[in-house]
Structure 1
Amino acid sequence: MELQEAIDFIDHPNLKQSKPGSWADFGCGDGLFTYALASLLPESSTIYAVDRSYHQMNKDFYPPHVDINFLLADFTMPQLALPGLQGILMANSLHYVKDKPAFLKQLKEYLKIPAYLLIVEYDTQRSNPWVPFPVHFSLLKKLLHSCGFNNVEKLRTRASIYDQGNMYVAMAST
């Protein structure tokens, strides 16, 4: 996926709020969705790009109006030093979490109210080495509601190039 495709995929009016805020990208990888999110957030926002493997973030893709800070950490471990977040992005990372209910309850501790959770996932029930604990949309919706998230909405879908069925992006709020 190219950067503009990622921007178009996750775009939502809630991301373009007038006030700057702090977001985290849990499992940021090489930063594709971090840069997409940064392109959509208001000026003076901050993103904490969190991954357990070191990734050199590409300064060429940094939008000049958003501060991106890379944190070398396992996002599944409790007590990351993060401020009250306006939102969390998880693009192709929730499927690595085995105990999703416990994780999602822990995740809420990072969020201030109101806040958003933006999820990009494969809409499949079949696990494989790259998607060990899949979370198709109907399961995600049930999980999020049971953990106190509201307004769970599937924003859009697209075909996956990895033969995993479709990918979807969903947004929920606290």
Structure 2
Amino acid sequence: MTDPREEAARYRARQQARRHGHEIDDEEGAAPGIAAAVDRAAFIETAIQVAIRRGDFDDLPGAGKPLEGLGDHHDPDWWIRRKIETENLTGLGPPALLLRTEDRGLDAELDLLGREADVRSVLEDFNRRVRDARRQLQGGPPVVTEPRDVEVEVEAWARRRAERAAAAGANASETPRRRRFGLRRR
């Protein structure tokens, strides 16, 4: 036993196929060649219309709202920008933008390091990449990120490290010490 909505869709598909001049071989709607494609397309269209009338598409998220990202300008790379934003991908893009975002978080990255030699190495690598990006002629936005002065940054890193150590020492002296073992019985 078939669904009455499916039967209605097949009937409408047969009617549309006949209107377009295609003969249908049997009552089920199977047609040779192009008529089968017309039958399928009409069946799908009818099924969509029936679902709309039933209200299956009424409570979809975004219903009645404009599609975001449609503006006055044409951006051929809209899909890749949206993918980068939705997937929160990092490390993709022109060097100027990558260096700008890395520069914003460089102090926090340096604070995670424990040795001055490591801090110097990270800063020298950053400065080398800034210089290389300024020399490249591949296009894209201009590189506005400045190289960092290694000595000044090492001093700032040492100062932040000493402040954290002092704050940790102050917090440790304020918290009462717990006994390691249980109470002694007399």
TM-score tier after normalising by the smaller chain length: under 0.3
Higher helix proportion: 2
Q: TM-score, normalised by structure 2?
A: 0.20
Higher strand proportion: 1
Structure index of larger Rg: 2
Q: TM-score, normalised by structure 1?
A: 0.21
Larger relative contact order, structure 1 or 2 (CA cutoff 8 Å, min sep 6): 1
